[in-house]
Amino acid sequence: DGFESVPDPVEPNIVYAQSQNGGLGRFDLKSGESVTIIPRPRKGEKEYNFNWDSPILVSPHDHKTLYYAANKVFKSTDRGDSWEVISDELDQDIDRNLLPIMGKVWPMDAVAKNGSTSRYGAVVALDESRLKAGLIYAGSDDGQISVTDDGGQNWFKINSFPGVPANTYVYDLIASKHDENTVYAAFNNHKSGDFKPYVYVSNDKGRTWKSISNNLPEGAVYALEQDHVNANILFAGTEYGVHVSLDAGASWKPLKSGLPTINVRDMAIQERENDLVLATFGRGFYVLDDYSAMRELTPDLSEKTAHIFAITEAKMFNTWTPLGSLGSREHGFQGEMHYSAPNPQTGAIIKYYLKDGVGSLRADRQKREAEAFKNGEAIPYPTLEEYKAEQNEPASYLVFTIKDQTGDIVSELRSPVRKGMGQVVWDMTYMNFSSVNARQASPSASLSSSRIFVVPGTYTVTMSQVIKGELTELVSNVSFEVSDLDNQILPADDWAAMAEFKKKAAALTSAMNTTRGVLAEMSTKITNYKAAAKALPIQESLSLLAEIEALEKDVEAVNIAMNGDSDVGRLDMDQEYSMRQRAQNAAFDVFGSLSNVTGTSLKNYDIAANEFAPVLESVKALQPKFESMDQKLGNMGAPLLPGALPDWKK
C-alpha cells in the first residue's frame, strides 16, 4: 500500500511517513530511528476518524509546522511531538449505513459490510496557501470544503457546488501559488459509477466555485498542480493520464511523452528543476523533465517557422559509477536483482519547435500502402525507378551549431526533421575533429564528441535545416550559459589551460594512433610484396626480396621507436617506456578529472611530443619508398597487389 510521505524541506533526513488509517511516524534517515507521532484524542474526546490515506503537509511558512487531518484538522509546531486541534468536525456527519449501495440499503449482516474500506466522514484533501500563513483548505470524502484564513479559529464550510453531485469525494485541493484568493479543487465520483471530470476553481477563498473541466475527456480526476511561474498553467492527473491547460482551465490538452494510459493518483512539481513528477496506480513514478518550455507556448508560436525555447543554464560534471562499472550496466556488480533505472542525458538541453516536417518518397509510399491495406485494396509494388529514387533521395535533417563567445564553432548536432516539439542534448564538449568513424557517414549523424569539456561561459546555438541538399537558417544565435557544477574538492585553477592541454594531448594521441595505422598498412603491404616477389624468376625474386626486407627493417625500426619492441614484451623483459604509451597516459590520466592537470601528465606530454616529431618525419620519408616499390613490381611483371588497377588491353 502507498501513502503520503513528506520530507522536511530544510532537513531532508527527516521524513514523515504514513500507514493505514492515520498511522504517522517521523523517520530519521541518518540514524534509522522512527517515532510514532499520531495525534491522540484529548480527554473525553471520541477517537478520530482517519481516512485510509490521510492528508499531511509541511507548512510552506515554517518547516517545523505540520498539518494533519482526520475528521478534524491538527497542527503541530514541533515536528509532530505535540498536536493542537484547530477545527471542529469538518465532514457532513452522514451515517454511511443508511446510504444505498448498488441501489439499496444493506443490512448489518451483509457480506463484508464496511470491510476492506476506509472510515467515512474524514478530511481527505488539505492545503495551506504559500501566500498567507493560516489560510487552510480542507476537503472531505462526503463532499464538503472547509476554509479558514486565521489558522483555524474560524471556519467557513460549503457543500454544494454547481454541476457536482452531492457528497462527491473532494480528491484534491491546491491553493494558488500566485493569487491568495484562488483555490482549485478536484472532485471524484467514480465510486458511484460517475467518471466525469470535475475540476473547479474559486477566486474568493472558496465562497463560490465554477467548473473549469471544459474539454477534459471522460475519466475521473485525482490530482491537480499549478505551475509556480505561470499562473495559467495547470496540470490534471486523471484516470487515463495527465492533461495540461495553458489558459487557466479554459482548454486542456493531453500530455503523452511516453506516459502510458494509466491512472495518475498524485503529482508534485520539483520547482528548482521545473520537473513534473507523477505517481501512478500500479505503474510506478514518471518524471516530465524540465517542462519550462510550456511557458513559451503562446498562440503566436504556432505561426513561427521554428523556435528555440529558453535554455536552462547547463552544469558540467564528470559522471561516475559508485556501484562499480560493468559494461553498460549502471548497477555494476550488484547482481541482476538490483534495480537501477538509466540516467537521462546530461548537458545543455535544447528544446525546439518546428512548424512543418518534411516527407520522403519512402514515407509517402508506406503511407499509401497502409491506406490500401486498411481499405482492403491491393498494395502497389514500387517500380525499379521508384525504388532507386527512394534510395537516392537526399537526406533531410536539422543542424544545431554551437558557437563560443568568439564565434568559433565548438560543436554541431544533427536531428531528424519532425514537426512539433523536440529536443537535442549537447554534452558541453568540443566536437572531435581529429578522427572519424564510419557511423558519421550518414548526413543526419552528428560528429563524435572529443569528451573534453568546453570552457565555462556564454554560448549560442543556431538552428538550420537541410532539405534535399539546401541549407536554410531557421533560428539564429540563442544564447545560454555553461558553468561548472563545482563539485570538486580540488577544482582547476585555470579551466581554459586545462581544456587546452586535454585538446592537445588528445590530438597527439590521435596523431600517434593514425600513424600506427599507417605503419600497420605498410606492414601488410610488405607481406604482399613478398608474395608478389615469389612469382618472379628466382634471381630477380631474391634480389627484390633483399630490398623488401630492408624496407621492412625501416618500418620495424620506426614502429619500435613509437610503440616499443613487442619481442621484448613477449620475453617479459624490461624495456623503455614507449612514446605512444607515454602520450596516452598523459591524456587519459587526467581525462576524467576537472582538477588541475598533473605535473606528471605535463612532463609526459612534452617528452612524447618531442620524441614523436622525428618519428612522424621518418614515416613520411618511407612513403616514397613504397610508391617506388609499387612501380618496380609492376614494371617487373609481378602479380597485381591488392587495390591496384590492372593494365589490361583487349
pLDDT of 328 reads 53
Looking at the structure, tell me whether residues 286 and 402 fall in a common domain.
no
Within-domain flag for 330: no
Decide: 494 and 502 in contact? Cβ < 8 Å: no
Q: Report helix, strand or coil for 545.
A: helix
Decide: 308 and 463 in contact? Cβ < 8 Å: yes
pLDDT of 461 strictly over 60: yes
Cell of 204: 474568493
Look at strands 198-202 and 253-255 and give their pairing.
unpaired
pLDDT of 451 strictly over 90: no
The 10s digit of each residue's pLDDT in 126-184 is 999 999 999 999 999 999 999 999 999 999 999 999 999 999 999 999 999 999 999 99
Within-domain flag for 646: no
Most confident of 91-105, 325-339, 617-631: 617-631
Q: Which of 455, 484, 513 is the last residue of a domain?
A: 484
Looking at the structure, tell me whether residues 475 and 499 fall in a common domain.
no
What is the rounded CA–CA span in Å between residue 188 and residue 186?
A: 7
Contacts of 451 (CB under 8 A, 6+ apart): 427, 429, 432, 591
More confident residue, 515 or 282: 515
| Listed range (564-568, 577-581, 603-607) with the worst mean pLDDT | 564-568
Could you give the number of structural domains in the chain? 3
Taking alpha carbons only, the member of 60, 61, 68 closest to residue 84 is 68
What is the rounded CA–CA span in Å between residue 90 and residue 73?
A: 8
Q: Which of 431, 457, 484 is the last residue of a domain?
A: 484
| Listed range (68-72, 398-402, 561-565, 598-602) with the worst mean pLDDT | 561-565
The 10s digit of each residue's pLDDT in 347-400 is 999 999 999 988 888 888 999 999 999 999 999 889 999 999 999 988 899 999
The 10s digit of each residue's pLDDT in 15-73 is 999 999 999 999 999 999 999 999 999 999 999 999 999 999 999 999 999 999 999 99
Looking at the structure, tell me whether residues 86 and 227 fall in a common domain.
yes
Looking at the structure, tell me whether residues 503 and 476 fall in a common domain.
no
Within-domain flag for 551: yes
Looking at the structure, tell me whether residues 427 and 575 fall in a common domain.
no
Within-domain flag for 324: no
pLDDT of 271 reads 97
The 10s digit of each residue's pLDDT in 419-432 is 999 999 999 999 88
The 10s digit of each residue's pLDDT in 270-324 is 999 999 999 999 888 999 999 999 999 988 898 899 999 999 999 999 887 777 6
| Listed range (190-199, 367-376, 638-647) with the worst mean pLDDT | 638-647
The mean pLDDT value for 602-609 works out to: 96
511: burial class by Cβ within 10 Å (0-12, 13-18, 19+)? middle
Q: Which of 279, 298, 317 is the last residue of a domain?
A: 298
pLDDT band (50, 70, 90) for residue 115 = confident
Looking at the structure, tell me whether residues 479 and 501 fall in a common domain.
no
21: left (phi over 0), alpha (psi -120 to 50) or beta: left
Within-domain flag for 279: yes
Within-domain flag for 118: yes
Looking at the structure, tell me whether residues 502 and 480 fall in a common domain.
no
Looking at the structure, tell me whether residues 124 and 268 fall in a common domain.
yes
What is the rounded CA–CA span in Å between residue 17 and residue 1?
A: 12
Task: Indicate the angle between helix axes 599-635 and 538-563, nearest 10 degrees.
Answer: 170
Looking at the structure, tell me whether residues 450 and 516 fall in a common domain.
no
Looking at the structure, tell me whether residues 612 and 468 fall in a common domain.
no
358: burial class by Cβ within 10 Å (0-12, 13-18, 19+)? middle
Looking at the structure, tell me whether residues 511 and 584 fall in a common domain.
yes
Within-domain flag for 259: yes
pLDDT of 539 strictly over 90: no
Looking at the structure, tell me whether residues 165 and 263 fall in a common domain.
yes
More confident residue, 647 or 216: 216
State the average pLDDT for the chain: 92
Taking alpha carbons only, the member of 628, 468, 490 closest to residue 547 is 628
The 10s digit of each residue's pLDDT in 473-501 is 999 999 999 999 988 899 999 999 999 99
Q: Which domain holds residue 607?
A: 495-635
Most confident of 252-261, 585-594, 616-625: 616-625
The CATH number that applies at residue 126 is: 2.130.10.10
Backbone angles phi, psi at 386, to 5 degrees: -65, -40
Cell of 151: 489558522
DSSP string, 447-471: PPEEEEEPPSEEEEEEEEEEETTEE
Within-domain flag for 183: yes
Task: Name the CA dihedral angle for 169, 171, 177, 179, rounded to a multiple of 10 degrees.
Answer: -10
Number of C-beta neighbours around residue 116 at 10 A: 6
pLDDT of 466 strictly over 80: yes
More confident residue, 272 or 469: 272
H/E stretch holding 183: strand 183-188
The CATH number that applies at residue 475 is: 2.60.40.4070
Cell of 585: 597516459
